[in-house]
Amino acid sequence: MKMNKILSNFKFRMGYQRNWFLWNLAIYFTIILVVFYALIQTGLINKSEGSLVYRIWLLVFFQFAMSVRFKEDFDFFLAFSNTRKEIFYSFATVGVTYSVLISGIIVLEKIVIDFLNGWLGFQNVVDPFHFFAPYASDNLFLLFLFFLMLSILTTFLGLLLGSLFYRFGKLFRLIFWVVIFFISAIYLPLLMWSYYQENRLTAVFSNMGEFLGGFNVLASSGYLLLIAIVLGAAAFLNMRRLPQK
């Protein structure tokens, strides 16, 4: 009976997330095609000045966004007599399934982009993510593994935050997003401006590039998995005692 409930929940959540996922893919490919067609046609990108770039890795944030969307499904599943443990397993199973799908698409994009750059003759790679350690490796399994772990991590992070938002209400959610906005829109730009005034901005970006290009992909995947397990355990413990609202 328990597995039947989890399977039913899985099908429900997979169903409507599939539509959102396909819309995200459609919007992504439309923007990419339009932008690069315009750049090539206007001569802003040619064989010696530019290349096609990797961008579909941003789908890992789709996982976060879908996992944060917690309240509606939690209340819906409770209404059908699911235990909180069954609801967690349902959320986690859907998250891991989409993580596998997203990671596969990321690998496929690398294969296609590398082929198109070679076929079209684009040589001047200016996108830093071409030198990002997982992409720089020819080992497609490591690329898949790294983004799989990253996507699972964002899934459990979103699930933890979604359950905390549910527990503590709108004030907690407001405070959280205000802090995020302050850090991203005010603190980080001011920090970059400070580095620029001190003539350290180039060195900061250079060090960041060396870090992205030089870390051990396999070890980093393991670290991401450990963090994901901690976040998943925290989400599970929070959900087990979550009051219905």
Q: What is the pLDDT of residues 23-67, one digit of tens each?
A: 878 887 787 777 777 766 666 666 666 677 888 888 888 888 888
Exposure string of 70-92, with b = 16+ CB inside 10 Å and e = fewer, is: beebbeebbeeebebebbbbbbb
Contact 126, 207 (CB under 8 A): no
* Of residues 197 and 110, more confidently modeled: 110
Enumerate residues 6+ apart whose C-beta is below 8 A from 144.
Answer: 103, 104, 106, 107
Q: What is the pTM of this model?
A: 0.84
For 32, residues 6+ apart whose C-beta sits below 8 A from its C-beta are 55
Calculate mean pLDDT across residues 148-165: 94
Q: Which residues of 8-36 are buried (b: 16+ CB within 10 A; e: fewer)?
A: ebbebbeeebeeebeebeeebeeeeeeeb
Query: Would you place residue 224 in the very low, low, confident or very high pLDDT band (cuts 50, 70, 90)?
Result: very high
